[in-house]
């Protein structure tokens, strides 16, 4: 069972959640949390606890997602929807620079808008881990993404540990859940049992501690801590998907020429959905646009994907013409070369790429199949699934 | 002054005029366009018709008559840059449905005197007949993309037109996938981006107006649609609209029909 430090854990009544949201708003945060929109649970603006999806849950499987009302009073009875912290910290479209002609000179303007000050409420532990991974990529490398950094520096994270996994979750394989151990300001565990509807609150930072001081809480008892720990254990137990990551990197590198990639490629639509919903995928394209008169120009950064041909376009065409070579690039980056680049895997096991793949290609199954075939090795590959 | 500006011409073949009207629909940008180019031939907009050569020529519509076959050659000879606009010009349009049927039978039913009709057996894309500098997709084309192409041609740069799927556009704008979350039939994964994913944003599946994306993998989508309970005849119909003559759509339709028979 997970170790929760008693002196660092508080109990907050469920009704106090509204106060938590309001206090963050009063402190100047734009409060973002789960909401029911377009038949899904999406992170969006929440003004009060009334905007949260109380009583809603989701059912997920490869290529399928549905939400339903279950009548429960829990605020966080769902798993994850299609968007994540990425939509806010590393948005799909960003103006990097504007220039306009002033006589014979060009005047360059940096985006004058101040950075957004987000409080992300209800992020799942896998999504918190995803932000840590994006930090490595966008903050800790050779080049710092300035706008990401500005938002990241101001960010407040309230994570909510998972009580029940979804049908495509595999966070336990990636060490990113179902409960968070770092990366948050506050971590909540929603407890809704015969001892009442309440939250166990763990403090992860000074600003988290400051916020708790403004709320009505009491010290958590050993029984509360036990319930929270048990809930996380049960959630971990209920996860049905897994990837064995031991030696996976080497096995993927050894399998680059496997004919199995073509079998995946035959099923893959190259639609980019897996990369768009992935909370760690960070790739972008940069477009320079100008007006007809030639008086002003903008440089815009937009989400791109390794499943687009142009993504690997060099002089003379795309390096990855075939769909299978794009899938191979994506999976080996997530589960192997990401480690070489950023010293961590690029996957948090949130399952979004499985759920939101229109044809339900399952990275856990495919990685395990590649492993199995690598184990059986050359000659007998035709017998593998 | 007019002589210093690049000459723009707009020509029409078999089509509904909707794509060239997208240029007139530009409203806010139209004056800027008119200020930047000399509209030398554009019968929908101006009575003035100046002879070529033209710096940029926009061609709408598909090739459907023996006369078209000759006329497009002449237009090409008079054009420095030639851009085809719309589903008709880039894949043969809805009228490419004739490619799969007996055209003589059609003319005998439709016209009182079919002997006066000189038409081809097929409706084909402009690029099937002449070299084309850029193809802009859509039924109709997106007016912002049209301006971007004109802009790029005028400034001698590459047009910023993406050739991936509509799914990219849904995800960028935050539209939840209607196929995954609601089980709706949607052609988004195989369809060329450009419209901005309008239909899913209004809670409908994509109709494929922009034709196949750069690497459209049709068979898995056909299987998915069948799995959602869409009848084979209806899957075939989804592939037989404005871009019925585009090769991936046509092949997929034949495949679905063959499997069904």
**A292–B177 CB contact, under 8 Å:** no
Q: Mean pLDDT across the stretch B45-71?
A: 95
Any CB–CB contact under 8 A between B191 and chain A? Answer: no
Q: Which residues 279-298 in chain A show a CB within 8 A of chain B? A: 287-294
Is a pLDDT exceeding 60 seen at residue B2? no
- Among the listed residues B212, B149, B200, B155, the one whose alpha carbon sits nearest the alpha carbon of residue B173: B200
- Residue with token string 């790429």: A353
The nearest CA of chain B is from the CA of A26 a distance in Å of 27
Quote the tokens at residue A184. 């948050």
List of chain B residues whose C-beta atoms are within 8 Å of the C-beta of residue A270: 164-165, 213, 215, 217
Provide the percentage of residues in chain A whose pLDDT is more than 90. Answer: 88
DSSP states of B162-191: --SBHHHHHHHHTPPPHHHHH-----GGGB
Higher pLDDT, B29 or B1: B29
Q: How far is Cα A186 from Cα A188, in angstroms, rounded to an integer?
A: 7
- Among the listed residues B175, B45, B60, B212, the one whose alpha carbon sits nearest the alpha carbon of residue B125: B60
Average pLDDT, chain B: 95
Quote the tokens at residue A103. 């006589």
- Cβ burial of B196 (10 Å; 0-12, 13-18, 19+) is middle
Q: Could you tell me the pLDDT band of residue A383, with boundaries at 50, 70 and 90?
A: very low
Contact A10, A219 (CB under 8 A): yes
Separation in Å, CA A292 to CA A283, B80, B85, B148: 29, 19, 19, 8
Q: For each of the domains in chain B, give its residue range(s) and CATH number, in order of start.
A: 2-155 (3.40.50.700), 166-260 (no CATH)
Higher pLDDT, B48 or B77: B77
Q: How far is Cα A158 from Cα A144, in angstroms, rounded to an integer?
A: 25
Q: Could you tell me the pLDDT band of residue A112, with boundaries at 50, 70 and 90?
A: low
Q: Could you tell me the pLDDT band of residue A175, with boundaries at 50, 70 and 90?
A: very high
**B217–A310 CB contact, under 8 Å:** no
Higher pLDDT, A158 or B259: A158
Q: Could you tell me the pLDDT band of residue B158, with boundaries at 50, 70 and 90?
A: confident
**Nearest residue in chain A measured CA to CA from B220:** A267
**Nearest residue in chain B measured CA to CA from A361:** B220
Question: pLDDT value at position B3?
Answer: 61
Q: How far is Cα A232 from Cα A315, in angstroms, rounded to an integer?
A: 51
**Nearest residue in chain B measured CA to CA from A311:** B164
Q: Could you tell me the pLDDT band of residue B33, with boundaries at 50, 70 and 90?
A: confident
Is a pLDDT exceeding 90 seen at residue B26? no
Q: How far is Cα A311 from Cα B221, in angstroms, rounded to an integer?
A: 23
DSSP E strands in A233-312: the ranges are 284-290, 296-303
pLDDT in tens, B203-244: 999 999 999 999 999 999 999 999 999 999 999 999 999 999
pLDDT in tens, A247-272: 999 999 999 999 999 999 999 999 99
Interface test with B, best of A45, A60, A262, A271 (most B CBs within 10 A): A271
Q: Could you tell me the pLDDT band of residue A379, with boundaries at 50, 70 and 90?
A: very low
Question: pLDDT value at position A377?
Answer: 61
Higher pLDDT, A384 or A126: A126
Q: Mean pLDDT across the stretch A333-355?
A: 97
**B180–A271 CB contact, under 8 Å:** no
pLDDT in tens, A66-93: 999 988 899 999 999 999 999 999 999 9
Is a pLDDT exceeding 50 seen at residue B80? yes
Contact A123, A157 (CB under 8 A): yes
Q: How far is Cα A281 from Cα A266, in angstroms, rounded to an integer?
A: 23
The nearest CA of chain A is from the CA of B129 a distance in Å of 24
**Nearest residue in chain A measured CA to CA from B219:** A267
Backbone angles phi, psi at A49, to 5 degrees: -65, -20
Helix (H, G, I), strand (E, B) or coil at A39: coil
Quote the tokens at residue B13. 């073949």
Q: What is the torsion angle, in degrees rounded to the nearest 10, for the CA atoms of residue B228, residue B233, residue B239 and residue B244?
A: 180
List of chain A residues whose C-beta atoms are within 8 Å of the C-beta of residue B29: 292
Q: How far is Cα A188 from Cα A93, in angstroms, rounded to an integer?
A: 31
Q: Which of A268, A292, A358 sits opposite B147 (nearest CB)?
A: A292
Average pLDDT, chain A: 94
- Cβ burial of B138 (10 Å; 0-12, 13-18, 19+) is buried
The nearest CA of chain A is from the CA of B172 a distance in Å of 5
Q: How far is Cα B199 from Cα B205, in angstroms, rounded to an integer?
A: 6
The nearest CA of chain A is from the CA of B79 a distance in Å of 21
Task: Give the residue ranges of DSSP H helices in A239-351.
Answer: 248-254, 260-267, 273-277, 323-332, 338-342
Q: How far is Cα A190 from Cα A163, in angstroms, rounded to an integer?
A: 8
Q: Which of B165, B172, B215 sits opposite A93 (nearest CB)?
A: B172
**B174–A92 CB contact, under 8 Å:** yes
pLDDT in tens, B106-141: 999 999 999 999 999 999 999 999 999 999 999 999
pLDDT in tens, A23-33: 999 999 999 99
Q: Which residues 90-109 in chain A show a CB within 8 A of chain B? A: 92-93
DSSP E strands in A135-239: the ranges are 156-160, 186-193, 196-203, 218-219
pLDDT in tens, B170-213: 999 999 999 999 999 999 999 999 999 999 999 999 999 999 99
List CB contacts of B120: < 8 A, sequence separation 6 or more: B63, B64, B65, B66, B68, B69, B103
**Nearest residue in chain B measured CA to CA from A294:** B155
- Among the listed residues B33, B35, B47, the one whose alpha carbon sits nearest the alpha carbon of residue B1: B35
pLDDT in tens, A41-57: 999 999 999 999 999 99
**A64–B180 CB contact, under 8 Å:** yes
**A269–B150 CB contact, under 8 Å:** no
**B217–A93 CB contact, under 8 Å:** no
Is a pLDDT exceeding 50 seen at residue A380? no
Q: What is the torsion angle, in degrees rounded to the nearest 10, for the CA atoms of residue A319, residue A320, residue A321 and residue A322?
A: 160
Higher pLDDT, B28 or A82: A82
Any CB–CB contact under 8 A between B31 and chain A? Answer: no
Partners of residue A66 on adjacent β-strands: A59
The nearest CA of chain B is from the CA of A317 a distance in Å of 12
Nearest 5 degrees, angle CA A61-CA A66-CA A69? 130
Contact B105, B117 (CB under 8 A): no
Q: What is the torsion angle, in degrees rounded to the nearest 10, for the CA atoms of residue B234, residue B235, residue B236 and residue B242?
A: 100
Contact A214, A29 (CB under 8 A): no
Any CB–CB contact under 8 A between A39 and chain B? Answer: yes
């Amino acid at each position: 069972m997970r170790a929760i430090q008693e002196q660092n854990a508080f109990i907050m009544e469920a009704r106090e959640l509204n106060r938590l949201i309001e206090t963050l708003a009063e402190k100047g945060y734009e409060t973002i949390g789960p909401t029911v929109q377009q038949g899904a649970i999406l992170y969006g603006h929440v003004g009060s606890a009334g905007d949260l999806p109380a009583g809603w849950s989701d059912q997920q499987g490869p290529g399928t997602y549905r939400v339903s009302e279950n009548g429960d009073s829990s605020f966080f009875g769902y798993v994850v929807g299609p968007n994540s912290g990425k939509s806010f910290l590393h948005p799909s479209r960003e103006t990097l620079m504007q220039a306009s002609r002033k006589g014979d000179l060009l005047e360059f303007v940096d985006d004058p808008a101040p950075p957004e000050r987000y409080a992300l409420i209800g992020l799942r532990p896998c999504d918190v881990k995803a932000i840590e991974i994006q930090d490595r990529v966008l903050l800790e490398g050779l080049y710092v993404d300035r706008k990401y950094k500005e938002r990241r520096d101001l960010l407040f994270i309230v994570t909510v540990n998972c009580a029940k996994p979804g049908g495509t979750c595999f966070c336990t394989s990636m060490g990113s859940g179902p409960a968070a151990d770092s990366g948050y300001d506050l971590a909540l565990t929603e407890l809704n049992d015969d001892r009442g509807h309440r939250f166990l609150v763990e403090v992860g930072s000074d600003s988290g501690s400051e916020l708790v001081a403004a709320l009505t809480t009491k010290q958590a008892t050993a029984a509360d801590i036990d319930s929270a720990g048990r809930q996380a254990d049960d959630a971990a137990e209920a996860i049905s998907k897994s990837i064995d990551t031991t030696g996976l990197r080497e096995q993927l590198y050894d399998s680059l020429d496997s004919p199995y990639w073509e079998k995946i490629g035959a099923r893959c639509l190259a639609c980019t959905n897996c990369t768009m919903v992935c909370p760690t995928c960070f790739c972008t394209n940069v477009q320079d646009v100008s007006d007809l008169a030639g008086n002003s120009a903008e440089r815009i950064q937009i989400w791109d994907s390794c499943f687009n041909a142009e993504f690997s376009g060099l002089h003379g065409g795309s390096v990855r013409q075939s769909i299978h070579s794009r899938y191979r690039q994506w999976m080996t980056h997530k589960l192997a070369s990401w480690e070489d680049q950023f010293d961590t895997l690029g996957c948090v096991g949130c399952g979004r790429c499985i759920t939101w793949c229109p044809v339900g290609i399952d990275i856990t199954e495919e990685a395990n199949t590649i492993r199995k075939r690598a184990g059986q090795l050359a000659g007998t590959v035709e017998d593998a699934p | 002054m007019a002589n210093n500006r690049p000459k723009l011409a707009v020509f029409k073949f078999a089509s509904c005029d909707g794509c060239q009207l997208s240029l007139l629909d530009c409203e806010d940008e139209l004056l800027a366009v008119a200020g930047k180019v000399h509209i030398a031939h554009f019968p929908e907009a101006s009575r003035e018709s100046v002879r070529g050569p033209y710096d940029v020529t926009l061609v709408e519509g598909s090739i459907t008559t023996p006369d078209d076959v000759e006329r497009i050659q002449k237009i090409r000879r008079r054009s420095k840059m030639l851009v085809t606009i719309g589903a008709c010009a880039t894949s043969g349009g809805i009228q490419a449905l004739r490619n799969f049927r007996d055209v003589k039978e059609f003319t005998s039913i439709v016209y009182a005197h079919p002997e006066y009709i000189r038409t081809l057996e097929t409706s084909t894309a402009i690029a099937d007949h002449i070299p084309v500098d850029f193809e802009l997709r859509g039924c109709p084309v997106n007016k912002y993309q049209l301006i971007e192409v004109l802009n790029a041609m005028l400034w001698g740069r590459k047009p910023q037109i993406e050739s991936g799927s509509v799914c990219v556009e849904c995800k960028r704008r935050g539209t939840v996938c209607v196929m995954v979350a609601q089980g709706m039939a949607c052609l988004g994964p195989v369809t060329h981006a450009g419209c901005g994913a309008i239909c899913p944003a209004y809670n409908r599946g994509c109709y494929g107006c922009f034709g196949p994306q750069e690497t459209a993998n049709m068979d898995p989508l056909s299987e998915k649609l069948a799995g959602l309970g869409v009848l084979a005849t209806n899957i075939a119909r989804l592939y037989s609209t404005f871009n019925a003559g585009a090769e991936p759509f046509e092949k997929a339709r034949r495949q679905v029909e063959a499997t069904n028979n």
